[in-house]
Chains A and B, each alone.
Chain A
Amino acid sequence: MSFLTYLINGLSLGSIYAIIALGYTMVYGIAKMLNFAHGDFIMVGCYIIFSVSAALSGNSVVGIIVAIVLCTLLGVTTEFVAYRPLRGAASPLAVLITAIGVSYLLENIALLIYGADIKSFSSVIKWEGVSFAGGQLKIQGVTIVTILVSVVILIALQLFINKTKQGQAMLAASEDKGAAALMGINVNRTIALTFAIGSALAAVAGALLCSAYPSLSPYTGAMPGIKAFVAAVLGGIGSIPGAMIGGLVLGIVEILSKTYISSQLSDAIVFGILVVVLLVKPTGILGKVVQEKV
């Protein structure tokens, strides 16, 4: 029974990674850049929910909506101010370093406003959860909600990308920006839209992450951000189902290795899995193999 509990906890953590990884993978797929600041968008989202809930005496629904709106604005603004000028720069590293700069900036703004001490975040999900088999198997409400939300997001994104004009424009722009522009697609606006979706997802992930692990500091987003990025690579970067699979694998492996092997070594095991998968399949689980032309 306890194994089942850990497995479900892993599934829940994995769903959070998956939601973050979806943002990573969409942005990477279209803008071909690693948005290192993505993890910090999560942190910003958490702080917004924290502040708004405190101001409205515990009304977290408004907090989540405000966080999603503000994070979307933040993502679009960051893209416009910091990343767009560097599109087409001589080295792809330029925009990577700028993203690192943005990440430092957000962390330090949070540090200035809220200080370095860890805030305790009250869960946005008040539901106690359910228990099976006479209380032997307890599943917390936040766990169930997290898994459901991630499934809904996955389906919605798949529909959006495959069924709508904007989604098709995204696919086209990620395939070939020049050709997409010739077909009348506004590439800059499409990329901005991708950032908006990715950042909104970061805010949702933030709410779920801090509900499950209720400690909030300016560095809350950094490690989940990196792990989600690992998940995106594991599943094949640029692929939306891949991000989901990668996130789930990562979350389950992390929780199980923390429980059964060593909490000290769990990160090493998680990263070890990535290494092994990439050696067997160098483009990730669902990644596309791109043939290089001479």
Chain B
Amino acid sequence: MNKITKNNLITYGIVIFAYIVFEILMLTGNLSSHLKGLLVPMTYYAVIAVALNLCVGILGELSIGHCGFMCLGAFSSAFFSKATENVLPTVPRFIIAFIIGIGVAALFGFLIGIPVLRLKGDYLAIVTLAFGEIIKNVINSFYIGIDSKGLHMNMKSAMDLNMEADGNVIVNGAMGITGTPHNANFTIGIVVLLISLFIVQNLINSRDGRAIMAIRDNYIAAEATGINVTGYKMMAFTISAAIAGAAGVLFSHNITTLTASSQYFGYNASIMILVYVVLGGIGNIRGSVIAACILYMLPELLRGLNTYRMLIYSIILIVMMIVNWSPKIIAWREKKFGKSGMFGLIGRIIFRRNKEVA
């Protein structure tokens, strides 16, 4: 077994191990209902962290609008599920919902990728932020209803839909979609996470993945060796958007009222996921999963401290960044403890970072 396969298997192993531990805790009744409610969000945040790491770490383009793709996946799939709730049985409906959510997110990832990927660096970052906000705002002003005559849609108000008596407003503007069937559970979340890990890890170690990383490290050199820079960039960005869409499907099928609010889909949410990716290690897929789980749980577990929890979280964030990344502290650490010292160990497990990423 070569090193890459072994490394990939360790990642799957960690996820499956965590799954078994949580399942046992749940079966033996050691998990409070509050904690149980956090399990599905934990999986979709891990999924979108993996997606974002593909974009930031492997493709090397900073995106701060990934929650926009999650939002698209969430709304398109929730719309489908709600519209066919009484028509299709649960299992095929949920599978089609996944396909629709992923497809819509991928389509928009592709369309948005065409202009966005022409830009570089911070300009690219701010445009992804802009697109994320545009998606959120536009979805917030959609009204879609269904009645015996078919679909009605406008951007004014639910009253203007002019529906028949049997009509049903599905997307109600800023009120969003209410009552999407709760089909997502922890097991499905873990399966989606494993599938996205499988896709991303195999992509990284394929010919395509190496081409993408070559573009990240030096696109001029990559272009000179005959790599289709635009094509590979589009490919990585679209796949990343599609996986974010899958996270969105999990999101919408786990929540009663789905609204395109800034709390879940604004730039702040996208930045929170970027924090997971950076603390987990840019370019380190396993790190993203672990960091997403820990950092999602951390403020929730600090809930006992109530008003101080976000304060503590922000201080931890600042201190961790300085300790992990400050050139002076890194030098001091290596002098004091050697490369595999105290922080080196934690660093190797969780915060291992890809030295090549500039």
Contacts and interface: CB of A to CB of B under 8 A. Distances in A.
A97 B278 contact: yes
A233 B123 contact: yes
Interface string A89-130: 111111111101110110111011000000000000000000
Contact of A88 (B131, B220, B327): B327
Interface in B86-139: 115, 118-120, 122-123, 126-127, 129-131, 133-134, 137-138
Contacts of B183: none
Contacts of A271: 129-131, 133-134
A201 to B, nearest CB: 20
A230 B123 contact: no
Given A104-B314, A108-B314, 20 more contacts: A85-B328, A86-B322, A87-B327, A88-B327, A89-B327, A90-B325, A90-B357, A92-B358, A97-B275, A97-B278, A101-B315, A104-B317, A230-B126, A237-B122, A262-B141, A267-B134, A271-B129, A278-B123, A282-B118, A283-B123
B33 interface: no
A279 B311 CA distance: 39
Given A91-B282, A100-B271, A105 B126 contact: no
A267 B311 contact: no
Given A97-B278, A101-B317, A264 B137 contact: yes
A18 to B, nearest CB: 17
B134 A272 contact: yes
A275 B129 contact: no
Contacts, number: 141
Interface in A229-276: 229-230, 233, 237, 262, 264-265, 267-268, 271-272, 274-275
A277 to B, nearest CB: 10
Interface residues of B, number: 53
B207 interface: no
Contacts of A279: 115, 118
A233 to B, nearest CB: 5
Interface of B: 56, 62, 115, 118-120, 122-123, 126-127, 129-131, 133-134, 137-138, 140-141, 155, 173-174, 220-221, 267-268, 271, 274-275, 278-279, 282, 307-308, 310-311, 313-315, 317-318, 321-322, 324-329, 353, 355, 357-358
A108 B318 contact: no
Contacts of A105: 311, 314-315, 318
A82 B325 CA distance: 12
Contact of B126 (A109, A233, A262): A233
Contacts of B326: 85-86, 89
A67 to B, nearest CB: 22
Contacts of B122: 28, 34, 233, 237
Interface string A203-243: 00000000000000000001000100110010001000000
Contacts of B279: 97
A105 B313 CA distance: 8
B127 A274 contact: yes
A278 B271 CA distance: 22
A112 B174 CA distance: 30
Contacts of A93: 56, 62, 274, 278, 282
A108 B310 contact: yes
Contacts of A28: 122
B317 A91 contact: no
16 contacts: A28-B122, A85-B326, A89-B325, A92-B358, A93-B278, A101-B315, A108-B310, A112-B307, A233-B123, A237-B122, A268-B134, A271-B131, A274-B127, A282-B118, A282-B123, A294-B220
Contact of B311 (A108, A230, A272, A282): A108
Contacts of B123: 233, 237, 278, 282-284
A82 B317 CA distance: 11
A8 to B, nearest CB: 25
Contacts of A95: 321
B141 A86 contact: no
A265 B278 CA distance: 32
B269 to A, nearest CB: 12
Contacts of A265: 137-138, 141, 155
Given A94-B325, A100-B317, A264-B174, A282 B119 contact: yes
Given A91-B358, A294-B220, A278 B119 contact: yes
A100 B317 CA distance: 9
4 nearest CB pairs, A to B: A104-B314, A271-B130, A94-B325, A101-B317
Contacts of A176: none
A89 B119 CA distance: 24
Given A108-B311, A112-B311, A275 B321 contact: no
A216 B89 CA distance: 50
Contact of A275 (B127, B308, B353, B358): B127
Nearest to B56: A93
A275 B62 CA distance: 16
A230 to B, nearest CB: 6
Q: Specify which of A109, A226, A283 lies most central, judged by the most chain B CB atoms within 10 Å of its CB.
A: A226
A175 to B, nearest CB: 18
Contact of B220 (A34, A92, A275, A292): A292
